[in-house]
Structure 1
C-alpha cells in the first residue's frame, strides 16, 4: 500500500495544505477539487493512482486545511487561486502534469493549461464545465442573479449553498441510493465553511465565477490546437452541470472519451470503482506510468 503524505507549504505568504503520494519520478497528476469541498474528496482515489503516478491534491486557499484569510486580507479570484496552485506545484518540482478537475477545479485547471509553459499533458474532467452547454439553470440562475446585483434577496438565496442542507443536496442529489454517500462528506465541508469570515470568501468566489465562461473561447482554441487527451467522466444526474457539459468536449477534441455514469455531482462518492477504472485506463494509455 502506497503511503499518502499530508503536507503544508507556504506560497506567497499563504499556508496551503496538500496530499501527495506515489514515486516522485513518475508522471504526475494534479487533482483539483470543487466547491464546497477540498482534497478530502480524493481520499479514496489517491491510493488507486499512487502506485503508478505521482499524485498531488492541494486544498485551494479558503478551503479544507489551507489558510482562509479574510476577504480584506486576500482578494479571492479564480486567477489568484490558480496562481497559488501554480506556485505550489513549482515549489515541489511538478512542472508537467495531467489534471483531474471537478467543479471549481475546472476553471483553476483551465488557467493552468493556458499558461505560457503549457504544462498540462492530459485532462480528466469529472463534472467540471468548460463550455456554456451544461449549466443547469435551476441552480445557476440564483448565482447569476447574485452576480448581477448584490442585495438582501439575491444574497439570501445564494447563501443556501453554504448551509448543511445545501451542501448535502450537492452530494446526494442524483444518486440512486443516497445511503452509499457518507455523511462525513458534507459535515466535513460544513465545518470548513463555518470558519469565521469564510462565508464572505465563498460569496466573493460566487461573484468571480462570472469570469470563467469568458475564458472558454481560449480554452477551446487550446483544445483544438493541442488535441490534448481528454476524458470526461460525468455523473449524468448532476443538478449543477448536466451531461451536455461533458459531451461538449468532443466539439474541440473529437477523440475525447465521454462516459456518463448514473450518479451525481460528487461521482467518486457513489461510483469510485467504475470512475477509478476509467481514469486509470485513460492515464495508462496516454502517459508512461511507472
Structure 2
C-alpha cells in the first residue's frame, strides 16, 4: 500500500476511535445528531434568544413572503421542538415559522427551582411572541402541555394571538384513562429509566407502528440516561400541570378565547382522551373540531398531512374544511 493510502487509513482509524470515545462519554450525541439532521431536512434555521429571563433555543424559517402569517408552535410534556418538524416541512415557504424548545425543556435554559407550570410558561411564551413578532399577532399552535399553554396565551393576550390551534391539548378533566389515573395517583406515566420503559413510553404516545421512532443502541442508552436525569424535573412539572391547582387552568381560560380556533384530536389518543375535545369545544363555540382516525397522542407526527391541511384552513379561512 502506498504511503498516502496508509495515512488515509490511519486518519480514518483515529477518527473512528475519537468518535467511539465521544459516544462512550456522551451517547446522547447520536440523538442530537439525528435532531440536527431532521432540522436541516425540514429547511429550518437554528436560533437563540434571551427572553423572560431564559435563553431559548428555537428553529425558524423566514423563507415565506415577508407579509406571510407567523406561526408559533409549542411542544408538549417531555417533548421538544423536533416534534413539530414533520408539520414544519409542510408549512415552510407558505408561513414564517417559530418553533421553540420551551424553557426548561430541550436545549432551552432550565433554572433550578423555577416554576414551569401553565401560568408561568404562558407568560414566557407571551414575551417570546412579542419579542420575535412585535406588533404582529401570530397563529399559535400548541400540542398537549403546549396546547394548555397556548390556550392561556390566546385568552389573556388576544393582541398577540390572531388564531389558535389546540392539538391533543391538556387542561381539562377528560374521561378517565390509564394515563390520567396514573397522573392523579402521583406517578409519571412518561417516566423512562430503562429500555422497557422507553418502549412503553413510545407505545403510549404513538398508535401507528410505522410512525414509532426507531432508536437503536447506543442512542437509546443516551436517551434513557437523559430522561433518567430529568425525572425530578418531569415530576415537578407534572405536579403542577397534571394534579395541582393549575391542571384545569387552560380549560377555564379557554372560555375567553374569541379568536378563530382549531381543536384537533386523534381518536386513539391514550394520553389526553378525545373526550377533551368536546370539553374544549363547549368553551370555544367558534372552534372547528377535527377528530382524526388511526393516530394516537402524536397527531402532528403520525398524521402531519391531515394536521397541515387543518392548520392551513384555520389560517386561510378561519376554520378547517
- Shorter-chain TM-score: what band? 0.7 to 0.9
Which of 41, 44, 48 lines up with 1:8 in the alignment? Answer: 48
Match of 1:263 in 2: 295
Match of 2:125 in 1: 85
Counterparts of residues 67-216 of structure 1 (less than 5 Å): 67-71=109-113, 74-94=114-134, 95-116=136-157, 118-132=159-173, 134-146=174-186, 157-158=187-188, 161-163=191-193, 165-166=196-197, 168-173=199-204, 177-184=208-215, 191=223, 194=226, 198-209=230-241, 210=244, 211-216=246-251
CA RMSD, 1 decimal: 3.0
TM-score, normalisation: structure 2: 0.73
For the residue of structure 2 that corresponds to 1:91, the secondary structure is helix
Q: Whose radius of gyration is greater, 1 or 2?
A: 2
Q: Deviations over 1:136-170 (max 9, x none)?
A: 43212222222xxxxxxxxxx42762345445445
Q: CA deviation at 1:135?
A: 4.6
Match of 1:149 in 2: none
- Kept in 1, the 8 Å contact 2:166–2:263? The answer is yes
Paired residue total: 269
CA separation in 1, counterparts of 2:300 and 2:123? 27
Structure ranking higher on relative contact order (CA contacts 8 Å, 6+ apart)? 1
5+ residue gaps, structure 2, are 1-40
TM-score, normalisation: structure 1: 0.80
CA separation in 2, counterparts of 1:282 and 1:139? 30
Q: CA deviation at 1:266?
A: 0.6
Q: CA deviation at 1:2?
A: 8.2
Rate the CA distance shift 1:129–1:200 in 2: closer, same or farther, 3 A.
closer
Match of 2:12 in 1: none
CA separation in 1, counterparts of 2:190 and 2:117? 21
Rate the CA distance shift 1:105–1:247 in 2: closer, same or farther, 3 A.
same
For the residue of structure 2 that corresponds to 1:121, the secondary structure is strand
Counterparts of residues 226-241 of structure 1 (less than 5 Å): 226=258, 228-241=259-272
5+ residue gaps, structure 1, are 147-156
Q: CA deviation at 1:260?
A: 1.7
Q: CA deviation at 1:188?
A: 8.2
Higher mean alpha-carbon deviation, 188-197 vs 33-42, is at 188-197
